[in-house]
Amino acid sequence: PIHVAWLVVPAVLGLLGFGAQVAVLERRGCVVFLLAPATLFVMAVLTRTTVLQDSCTSPAAYARSISAVSASVIREGYTFMMISLVVFAQMVITAFDQVARARMERKRRGMFTWAEMAVLAGVAFTILTSVLPHRLTNCSHLVDDPRGLRKAAWEWEKSYCNRIEVYSNLHLFGIALGIVLPTLGVLATTATLIKRASAAERPRFAKAGGLTVAMAAATLGFVLAFVTAGGKEASHMHVCILYETEQACRGETLPRAWFDANVSTARLGEAWPCVWRADLARQYPCESANCKEDDNLYKNQWRILCEFHTLLFWILSVCGCMLMLMRAEVYSPLLGGLHQQDGAA
């Protein structure tokens, strides 16, 4: 089983690192990012209470990503994730706006460096593509040969599956680009800020920059762990905890027309995993009977944890970089020749 320490220890270290950055930079600009640690704390609590359950009632028994859980299992999670990401984007935009205003007041010719634009563009990619969640579907049960079936129904279902696949690919590509691009931008911007700081400020920027680099490295490390993690997702009709009656749990209420026209009946009947456990007092009386086969539950939980920590360290590294940028450009201008020497967008 996945121990709760795998959730708590990295999260605490990340939040403590961000707090240390705020202290090193004398709280300059930290007001803009006050909601970041609060939102991450709430996400950690939700992950602990919903995902890290050693039973087949855990959402991780059926989905192996935060997006799939929030889109197909716990729908309230989709609303929370969207609000959280939009709030984070607003923090970053507000900080960049303050930096731009400060630079314009000093009559700079350029606005942002390419590295800074990579951060801003990556955040935008993440927000825009997160609107297209990765949904669980029944497309793996769709028969390939429509002979003997109602062809119109089969063609509609096939078209739906193709659209969902496109949406999922856009979502995964956008999120991946939105994580990696800002992380590289953060590393480049941090190095520039440390290099151009005055002698008096350089030790302060070196400490804060070291923490930012560590968080960016942790982001890339958890991205790699997420990509290489195992596990598998269930079909949408096999998400057992969504069924509230015994008949539904046994698959007796599936739409008859869809069942006959689009799905391999033999495969569907043989693979039905849900069992009704009315003898137990629990929130979800219907659960999967085989979610722990091949350690699938724990592999999915590990993958979701890696995704959570990727988001956590990504957000904290971007916030840390922006704190350094705001101190340098807004509160104590130290980089007078930055754009003339490095080029601006």
Q: Domains in the chain: how many in total?
A: 1
User: How crowded is residue 259: how many other Cβ atoms within 10 Å of its Cβ?
Assistant: 14
Phi first, then psi: give them for residue 239, nearest 5 degrees. -80, 85
**Token pair recorded at residue 293:** 């086969």
Does residue 142 come out as left (phi exceeding 0), alpha (psi in the -120 to 50 range) or beta? beta
pLDDT digits (tens, 9 = 90+) for 318-329: 999 999 999 888
pLDDT digits (tens, 9 = 90+) for 70-88: 888 988 888 888 888 888 9
In a domain, 100, yes or no: yes
State the Cα–Cα distance between residues 193 and 25, nearest whole angstrom: 13
Three-state secondary structure call for residue 263: strand
Q: How many residues does the chain have?
A: 345
* DSSP letter for each residue of 231-251: --PPPGGG-GGG--SHHHHTT
The parent domain of residue 335 ranges over: 5-233+292-342
**Token pair recorded at residue 200:** 């008096």
pLDDT digits (tens, 9 = 90+) for 276-298: 987 766 678 899 988 898 899 99
- pLDDT of the residue at 342: 39
State the Cα–Cα distance between residues 258 and 248, nearest whole angstrom: 15
In a domain, 219, yes or no: yes
In a domain, 247, yes or no: no
80: exposed, middle or buried (C-beta count within 10 Å: 0-12, 13-18, 19+)?
middle
Q: Is the distance from CB of 235 to CB of 137 less than 8 angstroms? A: yes
The alpha-carbon radius of gyration of the chain (Å, integer) is 24
In a domain, 151, yes or no: yes
260 pLDDT higher than 90: no
Give the residue, 29 or 178, on which the prediction is more confident.
Answer: 178
- pLDDT of the residue at 150: 53
In a domain, 265, yes or no: no
Q: Mean pLDDT score of the chain, rounded to an integer?
A: 83
In a domain, 91, yes or no: yes
In a domain, 46, yes or no: yes
pTM > 0.75: yes or no: yes
- pLDDT of the residue at 11: 93
241: exposed, middle or buried (C-beta count within 10 Å: 0-12, 13-18, 19+)?
buried
pLDDT digits (tens, 9 = 90+) for 206-250: 999 999 999 999 999 999 999 999 888 988 888 999 998 888 888
* DSSP letter for each residue of 258-308: HHHHHB-HHHHHHH--EEE-TTS--S-SEEESSTTGGGHHHHHHHHHHHHH
In a domain, 93, yes or no: yes
**Token pair recorded at residue 139:** 């497309």
Q: Is the distance from CB of 33 to CB of 317 less than 8 angstroms? A: no
